[in-house]
Amino acid sequence: MEASAASKLAAIQDRIAKAASRFGPPADQVTLVAVSKTFSSGEIEPYLAAGQRVFGENRVQEAKEKWPDLRERYGDVKLHLIGPLQTNKAREAVALFDVIETVDRDKLAGVLAEEMKRAGRQLPCFVQVNIGLEAQKAGVEPSQTVAFVERCRVEHGLDIIGLMCIPPDGVPPGPYFAQMVGLAKAAGVSALSMGMSGDFEVGIGMGATHVRVGSALFGHRPKTV
């Protein structure tokens, strides 16, 4: 399994490097976030052994069950929260994660700021943008993004370093990614988390600094999850 993990990881890293050399930022400025949600510690560890150090999880409780033991063996792991965060889980999230990618409302921003101050941790954060204006997805509306970033910084004191999005399924993602680039410039942030297993090369071509890749590394998740 470890050999397979190393091979899959190398293939994705090669695709990232080629996409960056053709279209996007330098390859060393593109961070691969390996999306390990729903996969067990035993399935994750071969990727750690192969050298991957940045991982993304959707749920605080699931990450809390898996990662403390793994971090005892791999202390330089960086863990990104890439799923919706409830305010009652903010304290645990601040203790466990290194980056929060899903800040999407003022109440959450305020609670996160309080918990970071209490814990003595200032985590870098992304604002999640509902770039397709989809009712079933979380995120700030594009028209409200710049003002929300400003409030997060000025009123709440959060370190907003970038924007994150999940474009609509079944349509070309390029126009949505292009819109994200414009929003990032307007908001004065340099990081863009956009692109997943099926479209990360397009994301890199548009300027993504972070790509969230799950199924291309770990395989497909059960449909019931």
pLDDT digits (tens, 9 = 90+) for 165-194: 999 999 999 999 999 999 999 999 999 999
Q: How confident is the model at residue 3 (pLDDT cuts 50, 70, 90)?
A: low
Asked whether residue 224 is assigned to any structural domain, the reply reads no
Torsion, Cα of 191, 196, 199, 205 (10° steps): 20
Can you give the residue range of the structural domain that contains 141?
Answer: 2-217
- Decide if 99 contacts 162 (C-beta within 8 A): no
Q: How confident is the model at residue 223 (pLDDT cuts 50, 70, 90)?
A: low
Q: Look at residue 1 in the predicted model and tell me its pLDDT.
A: 54
> DSSP code of 27?
G
Three-state secondary-structure class, residue 173: coil
Q: Which residue has the higher pLDDT, 223 or 53?
A: 53
Reference 204, options 10, 56, 19, 9; nearest CA is 19
Asked whether residue 211 is assigned to any structural domain, the reply reads yes
Reference 197, options 169, 222, 225, 223; nearest CA is 169
Q: How confident is the model at residue 28 (pLDDT cuts 50, 70, 90)?
A: confident
Torsion region of 207: left, alpha or beta (phi above 0 gives left; psi -120 to 50 gives alpha): left
pLDDT in tens, 81-121: 999 999 999 999 999 999 999 999 999 999 999 999 999 99
pLDDT in tens, 56-84: 999 999 999 999 999 999 999 999 999 99
Asked whether residue 10 is assigned to any structural domain, the reply reads yes
CA distance 202 to 199: 5
Q: Look at residue 24 in the predicted model and tell me its pLDDT.
A: 81
pLDDT at 157 over 80: yes
- Mean pLDDT of all residues in 52-58: 98
The number of angstroms, rounded, from the C-alpha of 95 to the middle of its chain's C-alpha atoms is 17
Asked whether residue 222 is assigned to any structural domain, the reply reads no
CA distance 99 to 177: 21
Q: How confident is the model at residue 26 (pLDDT cuts 50, 70, 90)?
A: confident
Asked whether residue 6 is assigned to any structural domain, the reply reads yes
Going by C-beta distance under 8 Å and a sequence separation of 6 or more, which residues neighbour residue 167? 131, 132, 173, 176, 177, 194, 199
Asked whether residue 195 is assigned to any structural domain, the reply reads yes
pLDDT at 212 over 90: yes
CA distance 140 to 164: 10
pLDDT at 202 over 90: yes
Q: How confident is the model at residue 224 (pLDDT cuts 50, 70, 90)?
A: very low
Indicate the average pLDDT of the chain: 95
The amino acid sitting at 194 is M
Q: Look at residue 55 in the predicted model and tell me its pLDDT.
A: 98
- Decide if 101 contacts 125 (C-beta within 8 A): yes
Asked whether residue 225 is assigned to any structural domain, the reply reads no
CATH assignment at residue 14 = 3.20.20.10
The amino acid sitting at 171 is V
Asked whether residue 223 is assigned to any structural domain, the reply reads no
The structural domain count of the chain equals: 1
Going by C-beta distance under 8 Å and a sequence separation of 6 or more, which residues neighbour residue 64? 92, 96
